[in-house]
Structure 1
Amino acid sequence: MLNKFPLWKNLMVIVILAVAALYALPNIYGEDYAVQISASRNATVDMQTLETVEKTLEDIAIQPKGVVLEEGQILVRVNSDVEQLQARDALLRALGTNYIVALNLAPATPEWLADIGGTPMKLGLDLRGGVHFLMEVDMAEATRKIQDQMRDTVRGELREERIRSTSIRRDDTDVVIQLRTDEDYAAAESYLNNRYPGYTLLEDEANRTLRLRMTEAKLKETQDYAISQNVTILRNRVNELGVAEPVVQRQGAERIVVQLPGVQDTARAKEILGATATLEFRMVDDENSVYEAEQGRVPFGSELFVNRNGGNTLLKEDVILTGDHIVNATSGFDENQRPQVSISLDGAGGDKMSLATRDNVGKPMATLFIEFKATGERDENDRIIFERNAEVINVATIQSRLGNNFRITGINSQQEAQNLALLLRAGALIAPIQIVEERTLGPSLGKENIELGTQAIIWGFLLVVIFMVIYYKKFGLVANLALTSNLVLIIGIMSMIPGATLTLPGMAGIVLTVGMAVDANVLIFERIREEIKAKRSPQQAIHHGYDSAFSTIMDANVTTLIVAIILFAIGTGPVKGFAVTLAIGIITSMFTAIVGTRAVINAVWGGKRIDKLSV
């Protein structure tokens, strides 16, 4: 029988539209202004913290919509953005620096809908806003790190050349080399002269001292490298957070701007982006006394560090490996269900680890965790002063020669293991950064643009609806039903895609889709009219109308879809937002215009004896 869908096709259309409508539903409920509290690495969020939060809100006369402690975080929902800012400032003062207090927008989705993964569609900075961070890079630490690497390089090369030195140390932008004898001085001066581009060799023959001083050009190159590498690593961290269409860019000589549109977990974003953590692997100095070092008599070539057991550990100054060589890190549990991080190294890192552990089987090696925290003070150049915190988190005896893959334990919690793995996987920052400005942005183009964008969609939709009803009569009503379903599908799919963000150009893509969505129906209906004029029966006209127009519709939409994919692949920011909604709109419009309208037309007119069609 002509124009009859099998039951499974009708059920497929109904199920797809029902699922899309279900996941589009959270957009009706909107979001609440919220403040989110989470703990830094050395603190915990518990019932006592919850009581402090509730007492603080009571003291400033804020009646929250809700205060919930879940998964080690507290979420406070308030009634307005004014209360949100007041609550944030009061909680910062009450909780201190051991806690992260961040602004957030929490979905007001009903619990039953949230349980099945229903969330509202995320809006970009130009529509709803998001989180804006202004970060300052510690250039002094970037320089120190480069000079420490230079010190280690010089020490290793002089050792290979059998040139003896009393000490090799870093002094601001200099690497100072103290030689033992006149012969060693002459050999070192000959070897180092003009060996390192960007460094000037200063000689002090009387004291048998050489200085490798960084030139101004090299200093500027180092600072530019620190900024560019930090920008790259911050982008990697944003990608780990799953934020769509972020802005991470340099601002001035020492600052970086990060904008996270539609971000859901601002507390975690602040913690991950602001953290400066890396690892160093060093051999334990088990030949000298820790007690003597604790009394201030640290042996030459070693350093004293605190460990997680509350004591101290004496480590060799030479670094076997740093976090720069880590290419992947994943968190998990060892055989005793203790948190651990499994690490994979690049080729150079694997070679270094293999070489170091080959000659040290049976000896202890330590994992040193290093992070930088801002002290809140500034130096004479108005630069933020950072405090370097280093802690031995693991000491293990080398059982056999290690390679590109190994694991570290001694981590306090699974959450810390996950955060450490994320930081190491995304890359260690070249220099520590401090968030000097944080704010939740309102729409960058104002509420007027949101309203105008919405009005454009509504007016475009209404005009198309009116035209289709007037021109195609009852078949026009079917096309309008498909157009409505198309909008629901777009919103539902955008809400279901993790990290998808609707921007103002994305709204333009939806407006364009509204106009394009009925193109397929126009082609089909015109072919049906032609078939009727050719004296075919109504059932034959419907059948041939859909069949004849299908190839034309497919060709036109596939070529447009290819363009949308190219725009997404090579575009950035707003261009990607436009490409996403355009691509989704093309796919959904093809489904609703070809399959959806055919299902309705078959249900109403298919398989029946009719004399004429209202088309």
Structure 2
Amino acid sequence: MLQIDLWKRVLIWLVCVTGLLLALPNAFYTRVEQSNDAVAAIEIGADTDENQATAGQWPSFLPSALVNLGLDLRGGAHLLAEVQVADVYAARMDAMWPEIRDALRPERATIGTFRQQPGPEDQLRIRISNPEGMSRALEIVRGMARPIQSLTGAGSTDITVTSDGDVLTVQLSDAEKLATDDRTVRQALEIVRRRIDEVGTREPTIQRQGADRILIQVPGIGSASELKAIIGTTARLAFHPVVGRGSDGDASAGVGNKLVPSLDEQGIFYTIESAPVVTGEELVDAQPSYDQNGRPAVNFRFNTSGARKFGDYTAENIGSPFAIVLDDEVVSAPVIQSHIPGGSGIITGRFTVEDSTNLAVLLRAGALPAELTFLEERTIGPELGQDSIDAGKIATAVAFIGVLVFMGLSYGLFGLFANVALILNIGLIFGLLSLIGATLTLPGIAGIVLTVGMAVDANVLVFERIREELKTAKGPARAIERGYEKALSAILDANITTFITAVILFAMGSGPVRGFAITLGLGIMTSVFTAIFVTRVIIVMWFERRRPKTIEV
């Protein structure tokens, strides 16, 4: 007969109440968002009266998770950046020179003296004084080649070594350039993600486009220029030996050296060795602090490898200046006073508190491997986002009201039961979106509107089956029971195929397509739940109270 166990009824209503509670903060979006931000500020130490008052705007015993609004709803910044992958080739050649120099030194008796020669940035040219020893030099340098660790470069080595008279030329192989380009873009993608995460923005979209481009969309940020300030700085930190210091910016640095300006001293230039002793890639931590004079500075710490190099160099070069170079500008060039073991130090300069904090964030996130060139930048104002929200509300309301009226006119009292379940369905969708921290976009709103139609479709199938069973079944209770039984397979078939489509869209799509897939997939689950369980519980409870002899659907 038509009955549902008590524990099942309790469980169904408990799920509905939980979903509505999770969705509740979205009805007070601005208040809850301000409260959450104040709580986060208090947790990191900003325990002010103003933050305490703001945090108290929303009761702590209630859920406070919100549905994040996407770029098209909240406003924010959109950037399309191109990674200058060729920059890495020159850095690789500069880094190889000390290794090759150390490998050739024991063979001076055979190859004579050798010097680095000027040439293209992606090549390393070395002239040897004894051309008869060229074969030995080629053998040594080719022995330094490493196999490429990628599927496309299997069986190839990372460098090609050739000779022309008394000049030996080293450059990256074509296969290594392809592998390097891919690694560079992947690394840049990860570092951009880290930098944005450090700032704490909500649900950014950061994805690769094509071979060397990155799409960055960050909701809620003030402008595209603000976003560029966060991610556009390369923040490449390195420590170089100082060759000389002067005021002539056009002076020749010499082969193997480079001329860089001072960040603090106007008109002063330093000649430094191109190959760094230690780089920022070996940093494990950087924190804003103050120097002994109370001025803002940045403390840093190297990993084991960097600490060993840093300690060895300072032990061997006491009394020599050592340049701290950030993005090809000398931040400071202190004289090494003593051996510095442990791999930690401090960067001082004319920093403000904000400068030192931002620099620490950039250094912790890591250096971009190559420069980013911004091809496209847009700032979407919050008023445009509000227009999208208003348009989405109107579209959803029109669809929702239309469906409610249709169900009420078509199925009478049973249509009203379906409408109650439909309202619960919308609440459950927003509760699940809040629970998983999903981002709602305009396509996501379209998914919700489509879900409303899907939920009604399931109820229509049930009610039509009940109508047919009323003509043949013995009594209304049996008709209702058989109606749900026979409609179940059709409801599951329709929704499972749609759910598979949503999964494929989520797996293969990106950005707005994923937003649509998430709301569609969650909506299918909630609509099946409300159509099969919630409406049935409501009808059973009504039937038990009224005990009608006949029913009209």
Is the 2:417–2:539 Cα contact (8 Å) retained in structure 1?
A: yes
CA distance in 2, matches of 1:571, 1:247: 11
CA distance in 1, matches of 2:17, 2:301: 43
Which among 164, 168, 171 is matched to residue 116 of structure 2? 168
Matched, 1:146 2:92: yes
Partner of 1:273: 231
CA distance in 1, matches of 2:536, 2:360: 50
Which among 232, 235, 254 is matched to residue 186 of structure 2? 232
CA distance in 1, matches of 2:365, 2:430: 34
Q: CA, structure 1 residues 547+13, in 2 after alignment: closer, same or farther (shift >3 Å)?
A: farther
Partner of 2:361: 419
CA distance in 2, matches of 1:416, 1:458: 45
2:57 is paired with a residue whose SS is helix
CA displacement 1:453-477 (0-9 Å, x = unmatched): 5544333323322221122111111
CA displacement 1:276-317 (0-9 Å, x = unmatched): 2356689xx9xxxx9x98899x9x9999999xxxxxxxx998
- Residue 514 of structure 1 deviates from its aligned partner by 1.5
Is the 1:272–1:419 Cα contact (8 Å) retained in structure 2?
A: no
Partner of 2:267: none
1:277 is paired with a residue whose SS is coil
Mean Cα deviation higher: 595-604 or 444-453: 444-453
Q: Within 5 Å, which residues of 2 pair with 1:103-252?
A: 112-113=57-58, 117-119=64-66, 121-125=68-72, 127-133=73-79, 135=81, 141-159=87-105, 163=111, 165-168=113-116, 173=121, 175-179=124-128, 187-188=136-137, 201=163, 203=165, 210=167, 212=169, 231-240=185-194, 241=197, 243-246=203-206, 248-249=208-209
Which among 431, 441, 453 is matched to residue 380 of structure 2? 441
Which among 16, 19, 22 is matched to residue 20 of structure 1? 22
Partner of 1:572: 510
- Residue 214 of structure 1 deviates from its aligned partner by 6.5
CA distance in 2, matches of 1:325, 1:548: 66
Which among 8, 11, 14 is matched to residue 10 of structure 2? 8
Q: CA, structure 1 residues 447+12, in 2 after alignment: closer, same or farther (shift >3 Å)?
A: closer
Is the 1:245–1:572 Cα contact (8 Å) retained in structure 2?
A: no
**What is the count of residue pairs matched by the alignment?**
485
Is the 2:239–2:277 Cα contact (8 Å) retained in structure 1?
A: yes
- Residue 169 of structure 1 deviates from its aligned partner by 6.3
- Residue 122 of structure 1 deviates from its aligned partner by 0.8
Stretches of structure 2 lacking an aligned partner (at least 5 in a row) = 35-40, 47-53, 146-157, 248-252, 262-271, 289-297
Q: CA, structure 1 residues 493+190, in 2 after alignment: closer, same or farther (shift >3 Å)?
A: closer
2:544 is paired with a residue whose SS is coil
CA displacement 1:391-415 (0-9 Å, x = unmatched): 799998778xxxxxxx967689996
Q: CA, structure 1 residues 112+512, in 2 after alignment: closer, same or farther (shift >3 Å)?
A: same
CA distance in 1, matches of 2:45, 2:221: 16
CA distance in 1, matches of 2:285, 2:307: 21
Partner of 1:518: 456
CA distance in 1, matches of 2:285, 2:492: 44
> What TM-score do the two structures reach when normalised by structure 1?
0.59
Q: CA, structure 1 residues 520+221, in 2 after alignment: closer, same or farther (shift >3 Å)?
A: same
- Residue 613 of structure 1 deviates from its aligned partner by 3.2
Q: Which has the higher helix share?
A: 2
CA distance in 2, matches of 1:534, 1:431: 76
- Residue 610 of structure 1 deviates from its aligned partner by 2.6
CA distance in 1, matches of 2:301, 2:438: 27
CA distance in 1, matches of 2:400, 2:373: 47
1:132 is paired with a residue whose SS is strand
Structure 2 counterpart of 1:423, which letter?
A: A
CA distance in 2, matches of 1:546, 1:250: 50
Is the 1:131–1:439 Cα contact (8 Å) retained in structure 2?
A: yes
Q: CA, structure 1 residues 432+535, in 2 after alignment: closer, same or farther (shift >3 Å)?
A: closer
Q: Within 5 Å, which residues of 2 pair with 1:287-302?
A: none
Q: Within 5 Å, which residues of 2 pair with 1:529-548?
A: 529-548=467-486
> What TM-score do the two structures reach when normalised by structure 2?
0.64
Q: CA, structure 1 residues 356+422, in 2 after alignment: closer, same or farther (shift >3 Å)?
A: closer
- Residue 582 of structure 1 deviates from its aligned partner by 0.9
Is the 2:282–2:302 Cα contact (8 Å) retained in structure 1?
A: no
Partner of 2:445: 507
Q: CA, structure 1 residues 72+279, in 2 after alignment: closer, same or farther (shift >3 Å)?
A: farther
Is the 1:5–1:599 Cα contact (8 Å) retained in structure 2?
A: no
Partner of 1:53: none
CA distance in 2, matches of 1:226, 1:342: 27
CA distance in 1, matches of 2:183, 2:416: 57
Partner of 1:592: 530
Partner of 1:463: 402
CA distance in 1, matches of 2:120, 2:210: 26
CA distance in 1, matches of 2:85, 2:496: 51
CA distance in 1, matches of 2:176, 2:480: 70
Partner of 1:528: 466
CA distance in 1, matches of 2:307, 2:445: 55
Q: CA, structure 1 residues 180+8, in 2 after alignment: closer, same or farther (shift >3 Å)?
A: same
1:212 is paired with a residue whose SS is strand
- Residue 576 of structure 1 deviates from its aligned partner by 1.6
CA distance in 2, matches of 1:280, 1:396: 19
1:605 is paired with a residue whose SS is helix
CA distance in 1, matches of 2:391, 2:484: 36
CA distance in 1, matches of 2:181, 2:221: 27
Q: CA, structure 1 residues 442+357, in 2 after alignment: closer, same or farther (shift >3 Å)?
A: closer
CA displacement 1:592-613 (0-9 Å, x = unmatched): 2233323433443336533233
Q: CA, structure 1 residues 535+182, in 2 after alignment: closer, same or farther (shift >3 Å)?
A: closer
Is the 1:4–1:607 Cα contact (8 Å) retained in structure 2?
A: no
2:169 is paired with a residue whose SS is strand
CA displacement 1:29-53 (0-9 Å, x = unmatched): 7999xxxxxxxxxxxxxxxxxxxxx
CA distance in 2, matches of 1:609, 1:179: 105
CA distance in 1, matches of 2:542, 2:27: 28
Stretches of structure 1 lacking an aligned partner (at least 5 in a row) = 33-67, 74-108, 307-314, 334-338, 345-349, 373-386, 400-406
Is the 1:137–1:227 Cα contact (8 Å) retained in structure 2?
A: no
- Residue 586 of structure 1 deviates from its aligned partner by 0.9
CA distance in 2, matches of 1:227, 1:341: 29
Q: CA, structure 1 residues 191+13, in 2 after alignment: closer, same or farther (shift >3 Å)?
A: closer
Structure 2 counterpart of 1:277, which letter?
A: A
Is the 2:205–2:216 Cα contact (8 Å) retained in structure 1?
A: no
Q: Within 5 Å, which residues of 2 pair with 1:336-375?
A: 371-372=326-327
Partner of 2:430: 491
CA distance in 1, matches of 2:287, 2:485: 55
Q: Which has the higher strand share?
A: 1
- Residue 569 of structure 1 deviates from its aligned partner by 1.2
- Residue 583 of structure 1 deviates from its aligned partner by 0.8
CA displacement 1:181-235 (0-9 Å, x = unmatched): 56656754787799996777554x5xxxx363879x97x996x888765543343
Mean Cα deviation higher: 166-175 or 489-498: 166-175
Partner of 2:416: 477
Mean Cα deviation higher: 145-154 or 131-140: 131-140
- Residue 359 of structure 1 deviates from its aligned partner by 10
Partner of 1:100: none
Mean Cα deviation higher: 159-168 or 436-445: 436-445
